[in-house]
Structure 1
Amino acid sequence: MCSTSTLDRCAHFTLSHTQQLMETLAEDLLSIPPDIQDHILPRRTLSVAEFLKFPLPPPTPRHTVTDVDLYLSSFHPTVTCTDKILDIPIPPTTVLLNLTKSVKTHDTNSILCPHTSELQEEQRLPLWIVDYWTQISAIQPVQQKWKCAAKNLQELENVEDKEHSGNRKTLSEIRDMLHWIGWAEKINGFPASISTVFLTPYFTKQWLTDEQENQMLHLLEKDVRADISNNYIEVLPTYFTESLTAAYQSPETYPTDPRKAWIRKKGHDLQSNSGILATLANINGNHWVAVVLDFRSAEIHYGDSMGGSIRKKLEDMLMWWTYQHTGRHFTTSYLPISRQKDGYSCGILSWSALATYVLPTQYTLMKTDQLTMERLKMFLVVTKHHISESVVADTEGSEHAFLNTESAESDGEIEILPRDPKKPAHNQCPTTDPEPATALLVEPASPPTLLQSSSSSQGFRKSHVITDYFKRGTQKDVKEYWQRVEEEAAVRKSEEDAMERDYAATKKQKEREMVRERVQKHRAKKKEEDIKNGTRNPDGTKVKRKISEVELVDDSADSMLKRIKGNVAEITRHERHTKEILKQKTKRPQGRKPKPENAARPATYHDWLTPLCWSHISIVAKQVGPRMSSTDIVRVLKQRDPVIFEKLSRSTVDGWIDRSGEVPCWKKEVRLRVESGKGPGHDKGGARGILSAHPEVVETIKSRLLFLRERGSPISLITARATLVSTILHMKPEILEIKFKDGTSFRASDAFMRKFLHSAMAWSLRKGTRVAQKMPKNWEDICEKSFFRKAFIIKENDIPVDLYVNSDQTQVVYAPGNRMTWTPAGTSQVAIVGIEEKRAFTLMVSVCANGTLLPFQAIYVGLTKVSLPAPTATNYDDCIKAGFLFEVSGTKTYWSNQSTMRNFVNKILAPYFDKKKEELGLPSTQKSLWQIDVWSVHRSEEFRSWMRKMHPTIIIDFIPGGCTGVHQPCDVGIQRPLKLSMRRSYHEDIVSEFLTELDNGNPAPALKDALGVVRNRSVRWMWNAYCAVNNVNLVQKAFEGCVAREWNLSYTCLTAYKAREALRNLKTTDPLFWNELNQQTPPLDLPGLDDKVDEDDVPTAEKCDTLLEDVDADDSDIPIETLIMSMSTPGDEVLPPSIGQRANGTLTSLGDAENRDFTEAVPAEALKASADSQGKRIRRPNQQYKEFWKH
């Protein structure tokens, strides 16, 4: 029988056990049943791609019930189907928190859904729905972020499919990566353990946070560690600057605070090793900037993608820290960085600036138009690193990676001993870093022995180090490596210089805008004061002053005064009246009578510098004071004589005054005109062309040209024309639709641009002296001999027309006219971007007498493939398919040499001849004729010997020295359209570039003139030129245009009966030359290697045809078809009336639309001939204006 105490203990035990059972039962009721978890919740092992397909409940409704009591019910649940549960939206987060507490404390058996109207009140859910909703509330945002990322990826894939396929492979890899990474797993391989959801900002336009920035910095640090250079570089995470800020705020504790020991150690190591520290700093919590501390040169490099200068607080902090460890005062300099054009790309651009600085051989600055792809590429790099580290972690996590593994080389067994992960290795660093002063003196610990040989092994396998698997490089390998590094560095330097110029020009423009705003505020304040004083009206206009000096006369009553007032311009320009009188006196009755419409127009310009007018102007200028205010001068002159000086404007007077000195004075040229009594004295009056009605467009064009000039960009006619065209297309495209009386529309011709730059900009063309090629006095004699030599070779060797080829090398500059530039008149020193760089390449052009254009050979300065255009350049694949040959010169010039000439023969010329022989059914021993000039490389014994040995069937014929301009088909008929095509392609690139910048909101677009950029563009120029001159008729006309007396170089003339007869007569007319031909020896007049001919002058900045392209070339607005037509049929008859020829034969525009004296347009329909007039051709202008500037 039990005692009372025993019974009490038993009862207490039973009660407590029952309570535990009840609590366990309640917990089970609140938890999701295990058998349905996988049906309603995504497994944590799902990949992102699978996670995106998993169905989740709808989001929380906007207007929902927040009273928790309305969700609780004491009745049992009626809804248990999981499909219905998935259709119910979850309540707000605040409701879920309160529901979790209320369910445990209240007598609740089910959950109601008052937050949605789709379920009826009697439909009740089980209690575990609260746990389900709580978990879903955390999962839904993750899926939403990945859905947004997947949507952006899909949109980008659609764009790539439509436009180009350059990034399809990368996008495909990213799509595959979504099947590899898990939606709930941690990212491995990085210091911070975060979920993969933090990878979604790489897909969007979100601002990158510390998590993404530290990932990228960790990858950069990994690349730095793998770099073979010996530079000591530290890439630190973003919290370095935060810790440094805390240390800077309490400098007295910095030397002793143990929490700052790691910062002190970094500073000590950087000072000891003359290292470099690279990191990212956050400004105002919303902007990333790049910071590099160079302890070698004592410099702080600061890069801000917004173009700002370093913050004073950040600069002082870095100065303080570096001084603590070096005792030197660092200087601040600019870190090259791409310019940001949005509000979220500062993070990746700042990282790019760091990467480019510390590893210039691996990274280049990111292009702002490719940032979307760059962010996705960064996602790909991060995830690949995560997967590789995950594999390593799985391998290292196993107890034994390899056990009792037998070697194929020996019978010995190698055993890897497991290591307890809880015990540190022998060389593991302590948790607290020691002080730098003592840490560097400690001997490094010996590495742990992980591999031990088994005692049963009968021998030891030879140990290997990593260098055993590499071959030692030769001196040639080392030389080629450093050549490649130098060329890559040169490309980067060109890009960095361009960015520095943009930065400086933008900064100067910003300062100018600030000054303008300050002046505007000052003027507005002064205007308010004038309104208060009564000198201005309330609307801001000045109160008109009464003219007290003279009483105005009513000219309506004075006929003489009325006649003078309406004819002031004619009266001031008396030479026009004198000229007309002399013309009438010498008039003869015979000859064509002038038409009334061709009569001289009334005078527009006034000659204010005549003694009658200038005497008043000079007196008034002294009266208004030493400052010579042009406004006051005009005002007083109109008071003195309102009739004569009615049309005088302030801008005209201001153009006469020289304000460059301390005291204003009349310009020297104005004083000379006054003394001579000739000339109108200014160029600001009268009509100024079609743009005179749009002053805002003119001002914008002028400001952009000035911006390019200040930046140092070469301002050629093409550059200026592209600036003008892009501005008009962006601001007033309707200007290009206006039609003039002759049917032409405005196209901003080169002729118009020259006048615009002279008048509107007051610029002149700065150029070097060109040494023109001098033709021999007896050029006809030696060219005639050259003709008979070709005729003899063709006759004796039965050479068909398909085997007669002419080749010529020409220089192509990356920016036509880049060694000459338009600049303000009177400037003594002109700085031009890239003037010291080899900003040109050599183009080898070859044509056959049958009308075939052979593939081009392009030779670029450099030693490795780094100096060639990138395979991603526009039309690169088209050029390769057509047989183009891109190669480096192997020297420090871009001109051809022995190596490139041999490559041309082996890869272009000889294959062409072999192909034609096969098509014609001729034997391989059939001779062919190759005509080239007498350049020293061509006529050298080394090259001719190589040709005789390697290509004995190719006969070389040299063009007489100094005669390439008249006796070489490529020079006579191919180079002009080819160069015009190049100029038009260059113009199109600039217009497209400027329009893109303007559309992106950049009011002052800069010219992308980095060497790598223009080199890649040259591929498209060559392809366009190849397509333009690949014309059978044009090529054949080029041979026909090489005329000497009655002979030309066409195959028809070379093989004609008349030529054969003259050739036979050489036996008697010129026996010496006849013997020379029959002996088949080189021409007796072939210059020796010591002789100097014009062809030996390798084109340089001072001696090349491209120097005067702005002066001597065909206008870039001339259609190529028109040029080819004019070359095929000489004379003006084939040219449109709006195009004419200069004295040197080049074409220029003559349309009224390009005349700066015409401003009036005509109706949309073209003018028709009147009934009584002769049938004049109706000129119908082109209706489309948007594409005229394209090639």
Structure 2
Amino acid sequence: MATLSHTQQLMETLAEDLLSIPPDIQDHILPRRTLSVAEFLKFPLPPPTPRHTVTDVDLYLSSFHPTVTCTDKILDIPIPPTTVLLNLTKSVKTHDTNSILCPHTSELQEEQRLPLWIVDYWTQISAIQPVQQKWKCAAKNLQELENVEDKEHSGNRKTLSEIRDMLHWIGWAEKINGFPASISTVFLTPYFTKQWLTDEQENQMLHLLEKDVRADISNNYIEVLPTYFTESLTAAYQSPETYPTDPPKAWIRKKGHDLQSNSGILATLANINGNHWVAVVLDFRSAEIHYGDSMGGSIRKKLEDMLMWWTYQHTGRHFTTSYLPISRQKDGYSCGILSWSALATYVLPTQYTLMKTDQLTMERLKMFLVVTKHHISESVVADTEGSEHAFLNTESAESDGEIEILPRDPKKPAHNQCPTTDPEPATALLVEPAPPPTLLQSSSSSQGFRKSHVITDYFKRGTQKDVKEYWQRVEEEAAVRKSEEDAMERDYAATKKQKEREMVRERVQKHRAKKKEEDIKNGTRNPDGTKVKQKISEVELVDDSADSMLKRIKGNVAEITRHERHTKEILKQKTKRPQGRKPKPENAARPATYHDWLTPLCWSHISIVAKQVGPRMSSTDIVRVLKQRDPVIFEKLSRSTVDGWIDRSGEVLCWKKEVRLRVESGKGPGHDKGGARGILSAHPEVVETIKSRLLFLRERGSPISLITARATLVSTILHMKPEILEIKFKDGTSFRASDAFMRKFLHSAMAWSLRKGTHVAQKMPKNWEDICEKSFFCKAFIIKENDIPVDLYVNSDQTQVVYAPGNRMTWTPAGTSQVAIVGIEEKRAFTLMVSVCANGTLLPFQAIYVGLTKVSLPAPTATNYDDCIKAGFLFEVSGTKTYWSNQSTMRNFVNKILAPYFDKKKEELGLPSTQKSLWQIDVWSVHRSEEFRSWMRKMHPTIIIDFIPGGCTGVHQPCDVGIQRPLKLSMRRSYHEDIVSEFLTELDNGNPAPALKDALGVVRNRSVRWMWNTYCAVNNVNLVQKAFEGCVAREWNLSYTCLTAYKAREALRNLKTTDPLFWNELNQQTPPLDLPGPDDKVDEDDVPTAEKCDTLLEDVDADDSDIPIETLIMSMSTPGDEVLPPSIGQRANGTLTSLGDAENRDFTEAVPAEALKASADSQGKRIRRPNQQYKEFWKH
């Protein structure tokens, strides 16, 4: 019997093996469960079941052995219907069957039989086919949207690309992680289609909303519950008598109890009639039920009664029903996502807005993206505390014998679950809620409660502050990523437009080449492509030679059109006197070169032809028709000359106003286009390349300041014609593309004008000299009374540094009404706190960046970051939404830079720690606030604050008077150097149209090098001391020598009689003299912002960026033009500009490289020295 039983068991095992798919071919005929969706879509599956098929199971069974074993042929056979497969699975186990026939298809012959495991294969495929079909439908819809995006450019390319990438990340058979329901990824396909969203998708969206609510740092208690809440509440409402005591309903009772105790808000979705979603919000604060129906209907009576009953059970109040704002539905399937949008907008109005009904397709796809990202993040890192944040505890669990029990924050609801036990006593529901639990410590008897440690022993639950800091960091990281992504999108759009232009250019070139070939065949062109010259008829030759007047006009049109030259010569001959030097023949007037086309004789023809060519006023057509009408007079007229007369700024083209005035006056030069146009006139290909790159930057939206344009020009010259920068002019200067040259170039070559920003100039009070003189005596008194040495007198000032100088203004085509500038809404600047001591010392900088966490600071990998840290620089975030200093950053500056400097100097001088020091700052609201001054008196009583009179910082603050100009010039030059270096790198890499890397993170990291270069340039003892000397009021200045001089001391003593009232104020040691109150408005309170900054002066009133800093410092140390090189001059406002011949757009003559030596007995010629290449000219 045992042998028989063993044999039977072997037979059953063998039968099972015959019915199962062999393991060695499973991966070939079945998709692996680890495949991504994108790979799964490419996996071949058998075709679908034929419509009319055989359903008799007996026709599929055969007692003969199989004849077909080729898997490729098996894959081509359609599977039978599902009903046949169910019966077939039972039949092969009971009948004497050895193979399977395929009567449902004609592809196999009757004698061809399949192995038994084909039934198992068909069964599995019947479950896999619908999944692949759903994903194929989703992929098809995604492809259609991508095709529409390519045509319409609606701005969704990035989102669609991310969704396409996500299909390569998620698996077709894996479970969706991070959500309460464990369902397959196939439930994500409705987001791609117009299917009605079911509970699976709605609960996913509600879970994500719950996650956002928990992350919100507001004090509102909000519960976002899944869709089964209303179903469970309906069951409770149907049996109200068991609700207070029924254990399965305990979780609903606890929700109501918590909402009543915390005056919270409940948000959920309810299903109406099994096919329509509505939004429901229960506000326990105002006792209201907010109901939103995307179809516009009112709340159902049954649903309203149920919600009224439940809320009354827990509050004893009758709630009222009100309308919940919701977008109106225009189809039959969008109620689910619109209802969710209404909930999200209500509970988190700062993060969400109501969805637009014309964008629902993209909104569903964005929801798919959010769900899958959450799934992937939860797949990588398991959340050990639900949705709470865990923070590493650096203390060991063994270091403290007591166990700290942290209660759950009542404002952070627990994860939605249905508990099986009642967490509350079965008493009446209308009771006073118990007070929230407090922090408890276990008693000594509870020590050793946990003998072994688990990983959670080393973590602590995050506080509300920790959560707030975490989300601040996340938001700032997202802002940095967004800035980078925006830059990439702008680059893509600009590159695409450039590519389209190149394609158009190629098409035009092909068209012209084809036309040229046809002209060659027709004989109108030579084989080399040049046009065949038309022979002049014999009659024309005779007439031309016989007409002497025509010959005279033809050779001297310019002279004839400028009759005033001839009149001037006649008058000169009439008034000629015998005295004086006789004119030499070589100095005689040369024939006229430039034409005066605006004379009545010529202009009448030009005006008529302009009307004939039409309202477009094509300069090419005007010149062509004029030369046809009169080829003699208008032979030298060029298209660019006519183009310069036309005003194209308005909708209707017309002649420029100045042209019309010259025509009416009947005199004046014909145009301003004649003559040499600067050193670049001999290199038109370089000019065209520069213009195309500037246009590319303009179209990309990058701000084009003089520095940006200058860097573009210099990098282009270096890449194409570096020898231009080596040419020496007669005055010894070389071309450096000065700011003066760039302004003329942008005006003339580009026809661009400067779009100005907003700048409010500071106004000094009329009696500023009296005020500053009193301030001088106040400092002199403090220094005398407290014996303050020169090393302990410091002035500090805050200045705004723009990441891209000129980013609130830009050069654009003249007449442009709307100007888009990249980053105009971002805080693309930072505050630099500069401090100088009267002994000539430059203190370390404090840089303040907008932001809340260290994410907003420059990266430690930034260039010169280590140098700055070693020098004592302080990089910190403002902690606000602006980059200006505040109470916190001011205190950090005093604690970490100013006070340590004073302490160090006291130690070096051998002075006691009680020695007083003087700190001079302006009357900005933060500086003069009682809060800051009280803190200074308490924490740093030895530091005396002296305030600069309001409105007088421009003349009485050393940092403004002597440090501001070289600091800003150094920043501009460093920025220019970065752009040139970046452009050259891109050009060397083969990119013909380089774009500016203006992402916020990039320019923020670059600012570190700018500050270090500035610190090295301004750290000059003589410059700093001159800054104090430059603060002059009458006969006094703020240098330590003047403050402590005998003359100042004598004037101070005389105040007893000359100004006894002021003398009494000094001796009474009252609060700072004439200090504005907290509510008073002074100029110093009007700090620049991203919307109103001083970058207008960056290009207009600043020193030219090509001026060497050493030259600027030398000119500031020794006022006057004597110390300046001949090629540099001063403007009326004192700033420096280039005057060299190399920067003159009307002068291009270069000095030859040959050196000529003058003889000893003659005046000789200037010694000409060969050009020498300067390796760092690109840094100018």
- The bucket for the TM-score relative to the shorter chain is 0.5 to 0.7
Measure how far apart 1:769 and its partner are: 3.6
- What 5-or-longer segments of structure 1 have no aligned partner? 1-13
Q: Which residue does 2:394 correspond to in 1?
A: 405
- Cα distance 1:1045–1:436, how it changes in 2: closer, same or farther (>3 A)? closer
Offset, 1:470? 3.2
Deviation at 1:1160, TM superposition (A): 2.5
Any gaps of 5 or more consecutive residues in structure 2? none
In the TM superposition, what whole-angstrom CA distance separates every residue of 1:601-644 from its partner, at most 9, and x where no partner exists? 98765432232321232234456677655445434544655554
Q: Deviations over 1:332-376 (max 9, x none)?
A: 999999999999999999999999999999999999999999999
Pick closer, same or farther for the CA change 1:131–1:1178 going to 2, 3 Å. Answer: farther
1:1018, CA displacement in angstroms? 0.4
CA shift digits 1:88-140 (9 cap, x unpaired)? 99999999999999999999999999999999999999999999999999999
Deviations along 1:943-981, one digit per CA (max 9) or x if unpaired, are: 111111111111111111111111111111111011000
- On the 8 A contact 2:247/2:420 being kept in 1, the answer is no
Count of residues paired in the alignment:
1178
Cα distance in 1 between the residues matched to 2:1020 and 2:332: 50
Q: Do the aligned partners of 1:713 and 1:832 also contact (CA within 8 Å) in 2?
A: yes
Question: How far off is 1:447 after superposition?
Answer: 33
1:835-870 deviations in Å (ceiling 9; x for gaps): 111110000111111111100000111111111111
Q: CA deviation at 1:683?
A: 4.3
Query: Secondary structure of the residue that 1:456 maps to in structure 2?
Result: helix
CA contact (8 A) 2:781 2:1052 kept: yes
**Counterparts in 2 of 1:736 and 1:240: CA distance versus 1, 3 Å:** farther
Aligned residues: CA RMSD: 14.8
Structure 1 residues 1015 and 679 mapped into 2: Cα distance closer, same or farther (>3 Å)?
farther
Contact 1:426 1:446 in 2 (8 A): no
| 1:15–1:1078 distance in 2 versus 1, CA, 3 Å | closer
Q: Deviations over 1:760-808 (max 9, x none)?
A: 1100000124221111111111111111211121122111111111111
> 1: CA distance between counterparts of 2:705 and 2:399?
75
Deviations 1:987-1041 (A, max 9, x none): 0111111111111111111111111110110000000000001111111111111
> Comparing 460-469 with 424-433, which one deviates more in the overlay?
424-433
Residue in 2 that maps onto 1:211? 200
Q: Which residue of 2 aligns with 1:147?
A: 136
1:423 corresponds, among 399, 412, 431, to 412
SS of the aligned residue for 2:946 comes to strand
Is contact 1:402-1:416 (8 Å) kept?
Answer: no
| 1:541 Cα deviation after fit | 2.8
**Structure-2 change in CA distance of 1:243 and 1:901 (3 Å):** closer
> Residues 928 and 583 of structure 1: is their aligned pair in 2 closer, same or farther, counting only changes over 3 Å?
farther
Q: Deviations over 1:128-180 (max 9, x none)?
A: 99999999999999999999999999999999999999999999999999999
Q: Which of 63, 66, 79 does residue 77 from structure 1 map onto?
A: 66
Would the aligned equivalents of 2:389 and 2:467 in 1 still touch at CA under 8 Å? Answer: no
Pairwise CA distance, 1:538: 3.3
**Which whole-Å CA distance do the structure 2 matches of 1:420 and 1:929 have between them?**
50
Distance 1:139 1:232, change over 3 A: same
CA distance change for structure 1 residues 878 and 520 in 2, over 3 Å: closer, same or farther? same
Structure 1 pair 1187–443 and aligned structure 2 pair: CA distance change class (3 A):
farther
Question: 8 Å contact 2:1152–2:1170 — kept in the other structure?
Answer: no
Equivalent residue for 2:678, pick from 686, 689, 709: 689
Check the 8 A contact 1:30/1:128 in 2, yes or no: yes
Q: CA offset at residue 821 of structure 1? A: 0.2
**Matches of 2:866 and 2:828 in 1, distance apart?**
23
| Mean CA deviation greater in 873-882 or 309-318 | 309-318
Structure 1 equivalent of residue 1026 of structure 2: 1037
Contact kept in structure 2, 1:767 and 1:1108, CA below 8 Å: no
Moved more, 590-599 or 417-426: 417-426
Give, in angstroms, the shift of residue 1060 of structure 1.
1.6
> What's the CA shift for 1:828?
0.6
Stretch of structure 1 that moved more, 1152-1161 or 60-69: 60-69
SS of equivalent to 2:750: coil
- Please tell me whether the aligned partners of residues 190 and 215 of structure 1 are also in contact (alpha carbons under 8 angstroms): yes
Q: Provide the secondary structure at the position in 2 that maps to 1:121.
A: coil
Aligned-residue offset at 1:670: 3.8
C-alpha offsets along residues 254-276 of structure 1, whole Å, 9 cap, x if unaligned?
99999999999999999999999
Pair 1:230–1:675, CA change in 2 (3 A): same
Query: How far apart, CA to CA, are the structure 1 residues paired with 2:588 and 2:328?
Result: 57
TM-score of the aligned structures, taking structure 1 as reference length: 0.61
Tell me, in whole angstroms, the C-alpha distance in 2 between the residues paired with 1:317 and 1:695.
82
Q: 1:865 to 1:456 in 2, by over 3 A?
A: closer
Contact 2:1103 2:1136 in 1 (8 A): yes
C-alpha contact (below 8 Å) 1:547/1:639 kept by paired residues: no
Shift in Å at residue 674 of structure 1? Answer: 2.7
Change (3 A) 1:335 1:1033: farther
Contact 1:536 1:543 in 2 (8 A): yes
2:791 and 2:905 in contact (8 A); partners too = yes
User: CA offset at residue 49 of structure 1?
Assistant: 37
1:292: Cα distance to partner? Answer: 32
Distance 1:811 1:419 in 2: 45
Q: 1:250 to 1:443 in 2, by over 3 A?
A: closer
Change in 2 beyond 3 A, CA 1:456/1:134: same
Give the C-alpha shift of residue 387 in structure 1: 22
State the partner residue of 1:584.
573
Alignment partners' CA distance in 2, 1:271 and 1:580:
104
Distance in structure 2 (CA, Å) of the matches to 1:498 and 1:976: 31
Q: 1:523-574: per-residue Cα shift (whole Å, max 9, x none)?
A: 2223333333343333333344567899579999999988877775566556
Match of 1:575 among 561, 564, 567: 564
For each residue in 1:318-342, what CA deviation from the matched residue of structure 2 results, as whole angstroms up to 9, or x when unmatched?
A: 9999999999999999999999999
CA drift at 1:1149? 0.9
Is the deviation greater in 1034-1043 or in 306-315?
306-315
> Separation in 1 of the partners of 2:668 and 2:297?
50
Contact 1:261 1:435 in 2 (8 A): yes
Indicate which of 694, 702, 706 corresponds to 1:717. Answer: 706
| Distance in structure 2 (CA, Å) of the matches to 1:507 and 1:941 | 57
SS at match of 1:437: coil
Instruction: Quickly say closer, same or farther: Cα 1:59–1:599, change in 2 above 3 A.
Output: farther
Change (3 A) 1:155 1:1138: farther
Contact 1:1039–1:1049 under 8 Å retained in 2: yes
8 Å CA contact 2:221–2:411 kept in 1: the answer is no
Match of 2:748 in 1: 759
Taking a change above 3 Å as real, the CA distance of residues 271 and 1111 of structure 1, as seen in their structure-2 partners, is farther
Map Cα deviations across residues 371-416 of structure 1 (whole Å, 9 max, x no partner).
Answer: 9999999999999999999999999999999999999999999999
Q: 1: CA distance between counterparts of 2:287 and 2:994?
A: 34
Report the Cα offset of residue 514 of structure 1.
1.6
- Deviation larger for 236-245 or 682-691: 236-245
CA distance, structure 2, for counterparts of residue 605 and residue 303 of structure 1? 78
Shift of the alpha carbon at 1:60?
54
Q: Deviations over 1:421-458 (max 9, x none)?
A: 99999999999999999999999999999999999999
SS at match of 2:1177: coil
Deviates more, 1:1078-1087 or 1:52-61: 52-61
Per the alignment, do residues 869 and 770 of structure 1 end up closer, same or farther by CA in structure 2, a change over 3 Å counting?
A: same
Contact 1:406 1:414 in 2 (8 A): no
Contact 1:743 / 1:1181 at 8 angstroms: preserved in 2?
Answer: no
Q: Which residue of 2 aligns with 1:294?
A: 283
CA distance 1:960–1:340, shift in 2 (3 Å): farther
**TM-score, length-scaled by structure 2:** 0.61
User: Does the CA contact (< 8 Å) of 1:221 and 1:234 recur in 2?
Assistant: yes
1:179/1:745 CA distance change after superposition, 3 Å? same
1:679 aligns to what SS in structure 2? coil
User: Is the 2:708–2:979 Cα contact (8 Å) retained in structure 1?
Assistant: yes
The 1:622–1:319 alpha-carbon spacing in structure 2 relative to 1, beyond 3 Å, is farther
Query: What does residue range 981-1130 of structure 1 map to in structure 2 within 5 Å?
Result: 981-1101=970-1090, 1103-1130=1092-1119
User: 1-side partners of 2:319 and 2:689: how far apart?
Assistant: 41
Give SS of 1:1182's match.
Answer: coil
Instruction: Please report how far the alpha carbon of residue 1043 of structure 1 lies from its aligned counterpart in structure 2 after TM superposition.
Output: 1.2
8 Å contact 2:135–2:186 — kept in the other structure?
yes
Q: CA deviation at 1:494?
A: 0.9
Which range is displaced more, 737-746 or 612-621? 612-621
Q: Which moved more, 1:309-318 or 1:1115-1124?
A: 309-318
